[in-house]
């Protein structure tokens, strides 16, 4: 009986229905030839969902911007992050990770670590802007500025990033090339998503002039994770503050974000 079961298991393995059982893997034919294993290319490919990391800005002891009527940025960003997570997860297309749970302080370095440890394919940091000019209104999207690329490389050197290559053991030119190659691809994909997002936000919310901006924000520094920082509006403006407190208004913005994520992955997977 055992021989019949073993034979069936081997046949099933060869035609791609199953892996050999544990007892079969340890056995050999009489001439010491191991039982054959099906080639990986013959196995059904495992569908891997893109990983979206949502980063609600601030939290805990860091309230972020505070609106004219006392609204704290950390609360707005966390609510928006949870709502976006629900929208993306409901589609069934993505694995979604949120960098903080509730009202807790998470250091910038830890936010990047969470994204990279989770295998992020896209990083979206949510914030609400503030300025001394209470008239300023509208959303904007940030990507990494060229002047910040040096900081990105220093971060890589200190944390041994990029395809498990120890840059400390490479010559400076080789290390520069490895980081530069990763940065170029990441920069292109970040810009691509930012452009899609801004186009989809039009008509859903007010956009500030020069709405695609570039800065050296720490959460944008990972050279191998496409990332944007979305400023949802200005808490320093009473009208924007009221809109950001409105779940209905946030739903319009986050619907545009979800549509942009769909469009982005459709484009890069062509």
Same domain flag for 171 and 230: yes
* Nearest to 172, CA basis, from 160, 161, 157, 185: 157
Same domain flag for 21 and 59: no
pLDDT on residue 162? 43
Both tokens of residue 221?
């520094």
* Nearest to 35, CA basis, from 46, 43, 26, 47: 26
Same domain flag for 38 and 57: no
Q: Which of 8-12, 180-184, 187-191, 229-233 has the lowest mean pLDDT?
A: 8-12
Does residue 39 carry a pLDDT above 50? no
Same domain flag for 7 and 105: no
pLDDT digits (tens, 9 = 90+) for 238-268: 999 999 999 999 999 999 999 999 999 999 9
Same domain flag for 231 and 157: yes
Both tokens of residue 218?
């720490």
- What value does the mean pLDDT of the chain take? 81
Q: How far is CA 68 from CA 71, 132, 165, in A?
A: 7, 11, 49
Give the CATH number for residue 82: 3.40.630.40
pLDDT on residue 34? 47
**What domain range is 8 assigned to?**
2-42
pLDDT digits (tens, 9 = 90+) for 124-172: 999 999 998 889 999 999 999 887 766 655 554 555 444 444 445 554 5
Kindly indicate the confidence band of residue 31, based on its pLDDT and cuts at 50, 70 and 90.
very low
- The partner residues of 54 in beta bridges, in order of sequence, read 98, 124
pLDDT digits (tens, 9 = 90+) for 88-110: 999 999 999 999 999 999 999 89
Q: Residue 213 CA to chain centroid, in angstroms? A: 19
Same domain flag for 75 and 180: yes
Structural domain total, the chain: 2
Same domain flag for 19 and 135: no
Same domain flag for 114 and 29: no
């Amino acid at each position: 009986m055992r021989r019949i079961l073993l034979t069936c298991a081997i046949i099933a393995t060869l035609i791609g229905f199953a892996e050999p059982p544990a007892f079969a893997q340890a056995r050999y034919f009489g001439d010491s030839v191991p039982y054959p294993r099906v080639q990986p290319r013959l196995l059904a490919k495992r569908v891997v969902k893109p990983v979206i990391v949502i980063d609600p800005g601030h939290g805990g002891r860091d309230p972020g911007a505070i609106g004219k009527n006392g609204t704290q940025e950390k609360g707005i960003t966390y609510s928006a992050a949870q709502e976006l997570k629900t929208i993306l997860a409901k589609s069934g297309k993505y694995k979604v990770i949120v960098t903080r749970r509730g009202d807790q302080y998470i250091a910038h370095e830890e936010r990047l670590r969470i994204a990279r440890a989770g295998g992020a394919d896209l990083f979206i940091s949510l914030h609400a802007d503030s300025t001394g000019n209470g008239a300023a209104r509208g959303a904007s999207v940030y990507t990494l500025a060229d002047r910040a690329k040096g900081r990105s490389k220093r971060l890589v050197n200190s944390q041994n990033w990029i395809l498990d290559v120890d840059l400390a053991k490479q010559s400076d030119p080789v290390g520069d090339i490895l980081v530069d190659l990763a940065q170029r691809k990441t920069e292109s994909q970040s810009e691509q998503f930012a452009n899609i997002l801004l186009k989809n936000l039009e008509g859903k919310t007010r956009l500030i002039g020069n709405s695609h901006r570039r800065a050296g924000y720490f959460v944008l520094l990972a050279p191998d994770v496409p990332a944007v920082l979305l400023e949802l509006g200005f808490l320093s403006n009473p009208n924007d503050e009221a809109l950001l407190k409105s779940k209905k208004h946030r739903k319009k913005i986050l619907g545009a974000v979800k549509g942009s994520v769909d469009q982005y992955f459709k484009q890069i997977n062509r």
